Structure 1
């Protein structure tokens, strides 16, 4: 204990202040995270810090001082020490860990790779023309392992080729040519290793959410729930309108088919009876012209003329009629569609 106290007394004041500053930042923010900053230039870090000023605070400190600060805070916070590795910075925010991850991912930008660096993935040069005119650069392409020739007065890559496999060191000549071709294999930015939120540690695998897929899943689940509710006649605030509209249509159909004399279906019954009557009269008139009176014969003639005129209508006229019918149907069903709840909103 005496040795520990003696050692503590010799910690420089600036280190003590730095430790206290880290502790205060952790206490004053809902979430803090560990981010890797390997390979990021100081100017890039300064730009990222400015870009994050409305969302998060970025702090670069020595790993040893960060470790001391976390240990002194206790509880489960020291568990974050296992994410201290190489060049590490701390980031503090009052947003959720998911929002923090998304914001940090947006700091990442493509960057050229240096000669001697390890390729993080297969580096591919695709077939096609370049902007370079013929000259010594053709030999530079070939010496870098990029198959090239002259086509239409420009240097062109002859075939798509993997010029460096993942895990291999990139030759200097190749690195130079990749930069000239504006092929940037590296993605440089803050790499979130873990985020701490009220006793829970979130790693990137959990925070990396495909928002488009997530939203699609919610829409699909909502549609399925809506359809299930309607098909099982389970009333909810979202489906009651559609259920009532469906019940009204089914009741009217039942009334017409069962010939129930009700004010709600009388018009439909009369229209149906009229159609049946004219059909019978037409067949009777075909067999015996005297089977129908003059008024009915005139009505049948008018109906036949209307049918012939409709059949002779031009395609454009028919198209206009279809559009008018569709417009009327839309007006008739607007109330039902308006009641479609979440299903209509997401449809």
Structure 2
């Protein structure tokens, strides 16, 4: 009797435990090779769509999907083996229907590449709307017998050339609301696919740090503006506490100069930098000539109004000029 070769020594399929171990080894290897990971939400992403994303990212990145429990166990084993406790932050991000994209490329470019593979999807009954759905104005191409759908949803229409025409835009579904059967039927009849699905980056893990994907959109100008705002806060706090810091010292010197100048103006006390201010206060016309020489050469008409300036206004203007010259020598 002939015996089939496969019955004796054919290649047997791997057991469930062996497959889990192979998967864990792969994940641990990726953790060794890559320091940047995108945590992506994968709801409503089909297998064909996912395969297209894998192909598009091939070369710089590796897409890994799997059960959260299996991924967490593999990460925890890797932490015990390597002592890299930073990976605990990655393990804590594995909640819900998520996957991991390991990459060595530019994170912003990888996210933009992922966004290319979004596909349109119809509004299914019971689905929570990820965006607002608005029915636009225009001819629907439907015959008048279909007006009942529009009446149920309170959509104003008219019959134009034997077809139903929507006369005003209508907010059909709000973001976060569940799609009803009437809304789903109407959108299907209008051949509108209001939703699009793809991998959505939720968090970014990079060298032990976890941050929001919005950080990837920051430009150098944004960073400079945020740095300047932070610097202003430091100056305000240190000035309020009278605590000298590198950024507050110039302001403290100027404020100190103002105080000493005020004392010198109000008393007989004087010092070289105060002499010019006192000279202006004694004869404000000198300041008017220095500030607007072109007006004086035009006939001297500007000098007379300048004498009407109050003592406080001249002192303030002179104070600003002296402060500009304080560090000139």
Structure 1: tracts of 5 or more residues without a match: 1-8, 277-301, 312-325, 337-347
CA distance 1:266–1:60, shift in 2 (3 Å): closer
SS of 2:273's partner is coil
CA distance in 1, matches of 2:322, 2:190: 63
Query: Counterparts of 1:200-219 in structure 2 under 5 Å?
Result: 207=212
SS of 2:63's partner is strand
Displacement after TM superposition at 1:147 (Å) = 1.0
SS of 1:155's partner is strand
- Deviations 1:153-193 (Å, cap 9, x if unpaired)? 9933536344588234555532325654xx62455324659
Match of 2:269 in 1: 260
CA distance in 2, matches of 1:225, 1:265: 31
CA distance 1:330–1:53, shift in 2 (3 Å): farther
Displacement after TM superposition at 1:102 (Å) = 11
Match of 2:155 in 1: 147
Displacement after TM superposition at 1:237 (Å) = 1.1
Give the root-mean-square deviation of aligned CA atoms.
Answer: 5.7
Query: Counterparts of 1:60-99 in structure 2 under 5 Å?
Result: 60=65, 73=78, 75=80, 80=91, 83=94, 89-93=99-103
Match of 1:274 in 2: 283
CA distance 1:89–1:233, shift in 2 (3 Å): closer
CA distance in 2, matches of 1:49, 1:115: 26
Q: Does 1:129 align with 2:134?
A: no
* Contact 1:146–1:163 under 8 Å retained in 2: no
Match of 2:257 in 1: 248
- Deviations 1:83-112 (Å, cap 9, x if unpaired)? 5877x64322479xxx97997598458754
* Contact 1:226–1:239 under 8 Å retained in 2: yes
- 2:32 aligned to 21, 24, 27, which one? 27
CA distance 1:147–1:45, shift in 2 (3 Å): same
CA distance in 1, matches of 2:320, 2:59: 48
Displacement after TM superposition at 1:40 (Å) = 1.6
- 1:116 aligned to 102, 117, 124, which one? 124
* Contact 2:144–2:159 under 8 Å retained in 1: no
* Contact 2:203–2:213 under 8 Å retained in 1: no
* Contact 2:202–2:212 under 8 Å retained in 1: no
Match of 2:166 in 1: 156
CA distance in 2, matches of 1:12, 1:71: 23
- Deviations 1:9-32 (Å, cap 9, x if unpaired)? 972699465553333113323365
CA distance in 2, matches of 1:83, 1:41: 20
SS of 1:158's partner is coil
Displacement after TM superposition at 1:254 (Å) = 1.8
Q: TM-score, normalised by structure 2?
A: 0.54
Q: May I ask how many residue pairs the two structures share in their alignment?
A: 274
Q: Does 1:174 align with 2:186?
A: yes
CA distance 1:157–1:261, shift in 2 (3 Å): same
SS of 2:283's partner is helix
Structure 2: tracts of 5 or more residues without a match: 1-11, 286-298, 309-316
